[in-house]
Amino acid sequence: MSDKSLLPSRLLLCLITASMVLLIFSSLFLLQFSNHSFITRSVSKLIPVNNDASAYFKPSVRSENNQPMRINEVPCQSSDPGKTSNACDINRALLRVYLYDLPPEFHFGLLGWKGNADQIWPDVTKSGHIPPYPGGLNLQHSMEYWLTIDLLSSTAPNIIRPCSAIRVYNSSQADIILVPFFSSLSYNRYSKVTGKEKVSINRMLQNKLVEFLKNRDEWKKLDGKDHLIVAHHPNSMLVARKKLGSAMFILADFGRYPARIANLEKDVIAPYKHLVKTVDGGKSAPFEGRPILVYFQGAIYRKDGGAVRQELYYLLKDEKDVHFTFGSTRSNGIRQAGQGMGSSKFCLNIAGDTPSSNRLFDAIASHCVPVIISDEIELPFEDVLDYSEFCIFVRASDAIKKGFLLNILRGINQDKWTNMWERLKQIARHFEYQYPSQPGDAVDMIWQEISHKISPMQLRVHRDNRYRKSQHLVDV
Ligand SMILES: *[C@@H]1O[C@H](CO)[C@@H](O)[C@H](O)[C@H]1NC(C)=O
């Protein structure tokens, strides 16, 4: 052996020895922690109790002891290296969020929650302390709730969640200010005028909210541009939306908004919370296991953009492998819809009163390839998801041509369909609302979408400042 080859092999030996020593040390280190850290307790998952409107959705708390880390999960470390805390760090979080301490009547109070005197927020770190959200149709628009409890848990060391958003307690540190008004719930449950009241609770709360915000220095600073308002139900914030239109909204679509108040430049489209049960990827029926070609169940006669439903009904109702019926969304209706979609190759999403509906997300959860016939629809997370990989889009004007739709769908062979189905199984997790939030779920995705809107928002603010601020200098 020559000297030349000896040197590298010695170096190699040294390296191997050094890495062995390191490995032994790190294993010892891990063992020390495993004594009190990685013990598995029961993992309770968030499951809808049932689909009755009176039922409640109970979030459960999974503490850090309950689940081992996943490999692709990058936990946010505490800045103090001595701690093994999972708390998200303000410097590493994607988004710093300030939360107004609005009185509970705007949020958890609408769920019947009453804290101690002076208590504004429930303790989300304890499983029994989170007020459950009403089940049934209310759930479709419950993201106001999931985002709020996620944010409340963001500084709790015992909750494992992605470090996408973190709550900050000083608004000057914030990228965005969350207005914690459960506007969809307020619309769904409190828009009737009762007893001696002159206005509904929903209207009263909106008036109070506008007054509160317009008087805040935080709002005045940028005319509310850095404020986040969740208004997912198309009829939520009906009174206040015009007055607060400069804020960033979380919406289902833009159907009932003028473009000046709601647009993709500043707003975020969030998925509906699906009502049918998620099909487990392993149990999802493949092509030959889905005897129904096309599935649609819902109200058939709708106003506005919904006329196409009626026309399609007459075109499709006599086809043998098409299920196209009136359906109630109450109790049994949802279970039936879940079974129907899970046995169908294609699920129709036709514009109704509004361009969007929870049906699309029910189809995704059932791995039934969505056929979208809704020209004005906006889709959640479309900057990261290419919906054409797992959805079929048909223009409404084409869909109502005789034979057009079925020609397309019958023309999609098993291989092509299976590719879309495989993609559906991959992306379905992006539409799951849960607590604690998991990497890539709906809550995590929404925070990421919001963070994408921050820098364009700042750009607009700075451009607006150009002459406005210079003017001020002259005036003084
Ligand atoms: C918030 O932060 C700003 C800037 O760092 C500071 O001037 C202000 O005093 C802080 N406010 C509170 C209430 O701590």
**DSSP state letter for 260:** T
Taking each helix axis as running N to C, give the angle between helix 143-153 and helix 183-190, from 0 to 180 degrees, rounded to the nearest 10.
140
Tens of pLDDT, residues 22-47: 776 666 555 444 433 333 333 333 33
User: CB within 8 A of 276, min separation 6: which ones?
Assistant: 334, 335, 337, 338, 341, 362, 365, 366
Q: 170 CA distance to ligand 1 centroid (A)?
A: 6
**DSSP state letter for 404:** H
Q: 96 CA distance to ligand 1 centroid (A)?
A: 15
* 425 falls within a domain: yes
170 CA: nearest ligand 1 atom:
1
pLDDT at 134: 86
Question: Same structural domain for residues 129 and 262?
Answer: yes
What is the phi-psi region of residue 57: left when phi exceeds 0, alpha when psi lies from -120 to 50, beta otherwise? beta
Tens of pLDDT, residues 329-369: 555 788 888 999 999 999 999 988 788 889 999 999 999 99
Tokens at 193, concatenated: 């005028």
Mean pLDDT lowest among 3-7, 129-133, 175-179, 436-440 = 3-7
Specify the residue with its C-alpha closest to ligand 1, atom 3: 172
Question: Same structural domain for residues 116 and 262?
Answer: yes
Rounded CA gap, 109 and 122, in Å?
10
Question: Pick the residue with more confidence: 271 or 328?
Answer: 271
Q: 176 CA distance to ligand 1 centroid (A)?
A: 16
* 68 falls within a domain: no
Specify the residue with its C-alpha closest to ligand 1, atom 9: 170
Specify the residue with its C-alpha closest to ligand 1, atom 6: 172
Specify the residue with its C-alpha closest to ligand 1, atom 4: 172
Question: Same structural domain for residues 232 and 337?
Answer: no
Q: 171 CA distance to ligand 1 centroid (A)?
A: 8
Specify the residue with its C-alpha closest to ligand 1, atom 5: 172
Of residues 77, 124, 82, the one with CA closest to residue 99? 124
Q: Which residues line ligand 1 (CB under 6 A)?
A: 170, 172
Question: Same structural domain for residues 227 and 342?
Answer: no
Rounded CA gap, 275 and 264, in Å?
26
Q: 175 CA distance to ligand 1 centroid (A)?
A: 15
Task: Find the angle CA(160)-CA(164)-CA(167) to the nearest 5 degrees.
Answer: 85
Q: Which helix (H) or strand (E) holds 168?
A: strand 165-168
Please state the rounded mean pLDDT for residues 375-383.
Answer: 95
Tokens at 407, concatenated: 């020609």
Question: Same structural domain for residues 330 and 376?
Answer: yes
Specify the residue with its C-alpha closest to ligand 1, atom 1: 170
**344: domain CATH number?**
3.40.50.2000
Specify the residue with its C-alpha closest to ligand 1, atom 2: 172
Q: 146 CA distance to ligand 1 centroid (A)?
A: 28
Q: 84 CA distance to ligand 1 centroid (A)?
A: 29
* 11 falls within a domain: no
Question: Same structural domain for residues 132 and 215?
Answer: yes
* 102 falls within a domain: yes
Tell me the pLDDT of the chain averaged across its residues. Answer: 84
Question: Same structural domain for residues 410 and 317?
Answer: yes
Rounded CA gap, 120 and 54, in Å?
25
Question: Which amino acid is located at 350 in the chain?
Answer: I
Question: Same structural domain for residues 148 and 263?
Answer: yes
Q: 235 CA distance to ligand 1 centroid (A)?
A: 37
Q: What is the dihedral of CA 168, 171, 174, 177, to 10 degrees?
A: 100
* 72 falls within a domain: no
Rounded CA gap, 429 and 74, in Å?
18
Please state the rounded mean pLDDT for residues 64-68.
Answer: 38
The number of beta carbons lying within 10 Å of the beta carbon of residue 100 is 21
Domains of the chain: total: 2
* 53 falls within a domain: no
pLDDT at 189: 94
Question: Same structural domain for residues 419 and 451?
Answer: no
Residue from 96, 171, 172 whose mutation best tests the ligand 1 pocket (most atoms within 8 A of CB): 172
Distance of CA 277 to the CA centre of its chain: 16
Question: Same structural domain for residues 201 and 337?
Answer: no
Rounded CA gap, 111 and 122, in Å?
12
Rounded CA gap, 382 and 118, in Å?
41
* 49 falls within a domain: no
Question: Same structural domain for residues 139 and 178?
Answer: yes
* 76 falls within a domain: no
Q: 169 CA distance to ligand 1 centroid (A)?
A: 9
Question: Same structural domain for residues 295 and 419?
Answer: yes
pLDDT at 472: 76
Tens of pLDDT, residues 398-430: 999 999 999 999 999 999 999 999 999 999 999
Judge contact between 294 and 315, C-beta under 8 A.
Answer: no
173 CA: nearest ligand 1 atom:
2
Residue from 90, 96, 170 whose mutation best tests the ligand 1 pocket (most atoms within 8 A of CB): 170
pLDDT at 438: 96
Q: Give the range of the structural domain holding residue 426, as residue numbers without chain letter.
A: 281-431
Rounded CA gap, 405 and 399, in Å?
5
- How much of the chain, in percent, has pLDDT values that exceed 90? 63
